[in-house]
Amino acid sequence: MSKRAWAELVVLAALWGAVYPLIDVALRDLAPTVVVLGRVLLACLLLVPLAIRRHALPDLWKHPRAIIETVLVQSTIPLVLLTYGQRYVPAGIAGILIGAQPLFVALLAYRYAPDERPQGWKGVTGIATGLLGLILLFGVDLRGGTQALLGGALVLVAALCYAAGAIMIHRRHAAAPPLGVATSAMLVTSSAMIGPATLALPDHLPDARVLAAVLILGIACTGMTLVLFYTVIARTGPARAALAFYLSPAFAVAFGTVFLHERLTPTAIIGLGTIVAGCLLAAQRAEPAPA
């Protein structure tokens, strides 16, 4: 890949990794539902005009039930679970747990996406290695009490929902423009969260740092990140673009340690390494037979 492509991958991974510390800051003054609504509404400001200009929405919304079901699983539910879970777990740990998404994709593929099934001993070893990393995190870093375990479980279920949503997109909307799917996810989530967020609005103006965190989270780390992701896919292909996903948990841990002064434990480092290694192995696919 070119230097520009590598630079875009690193920026993309950093923006994804910054999501978790920013959520942590936003939760200091805002309810989880308000954080989610602010994030997706701001992302809509960027994505909707682009999607309209590129005609990315009409075909998707010919079958509204299918796209609504898909984005509820792939976006709305995991965003809510992640944000609630982060009330009880550090940003770095949340980033590592969400990083297990490819592991869940591999597990779900055995039943729902045969063409995406992990192959041979590498696939089995990858799944086992990734699960070992999750067990290590829950057994050591999240054993501090019921709230920590609950928060970790919520974040892990969010990762499972992201994986299930990815399978649904693969099965139902493989030919759809990715920008259209992403924009639909933000629109549906915004609609779903308006009611709950309105009931949880604060009775005072949040701290400036909290407002800044929500702005950066919505505009840069959600809207701009989705645009950049699809740009990288167009330039380098989906396999190379996915490298950013594997790098992002390391950025989440680094940002949490530097900016939020979170304690970096040996088990977090080992858990991060084993989960990423497991995901990479589980993502291996059989090479097509020569013609």
pLDDT tens, position by position, 3-24: 887 888 899 999 999 999 999 9
What confidence score (pLDDT) does residue 80 get? 98
The larger pLDDT score, comparing residue 283 to residue 122, is at 122
Which of 149, 159, 185 minimizes the C-alpha distance to 95? 159
Give residue 121's Cα distance to chain centre: 27
Residue 88 near residue 151 (C-beta atoms within 8 A):
yes
Indicate if the pLDDT at residue 279 is higher than 90. no
Domain presence at residue 52: yes
Domain presence at residue 287: no
Tell me the pLDDT tens digit for each residue of 154-173: 999 999 999 999 899 988 98
Q: How far apart are CA 249 and CA 70, in angstroms?
A: 25
At residue 291 the predicted structure's pLDDT band, cuts being 50, 70 and 90, is: very low
Which of 31, 41, 32, 34 minimizes the C-alpha distance to 83? 32
Domain presence at residue 75: yes
By residue range, what is the domain housing residue 79?
A: 3-282
* Environment class of 25 (CB within 10 Å of its CB; exposed 0-12, middle 13-18, buried 19+): buried
What confidence score (pLDDT) does residue 289 get? 39
State phi, psi for 208 to the nearest 5 degrees. -60, -35
Domain presence at residue 122: yes
Average pLDDT over residues 114-138: 85
What confidence score (pLDDT) does residue 290 get? 39
At residue 113 the predicted structure's pLDDT band, cuts being 50, 70 and 90, is: confident
Which of 67, 18, 54, 17 minimizes the C-alpha distance to 231? 54
Domain presence at residue 139: yes
Mean pLDDT of the chain: 90
Percent residues over pLDDT 90 in the chain? 62
State phi, psi for 125 to the nearest 5 degrees. -65, -40
**Which residues contact residue 229 at a Cβ distance below 8 angstroms, ignoring those fewer than 6 apart?**
12, 241, 244
Indicate if the pLDDT at residue 130 is higher than 60. yes
Domain presence at residue 291: no
Domain presence at residue 253: yes
The least confident of 38-42, 112-116, 157-161, 262-266 is: 112-116
Domain presence at residue 288: no
**Which residues contact residue 241 at a Cβ distance below 8 angstroms, ignoring those fewer than 6 apart?**
9, 12, 229, 232, 233
Number of domains in the chain: 1
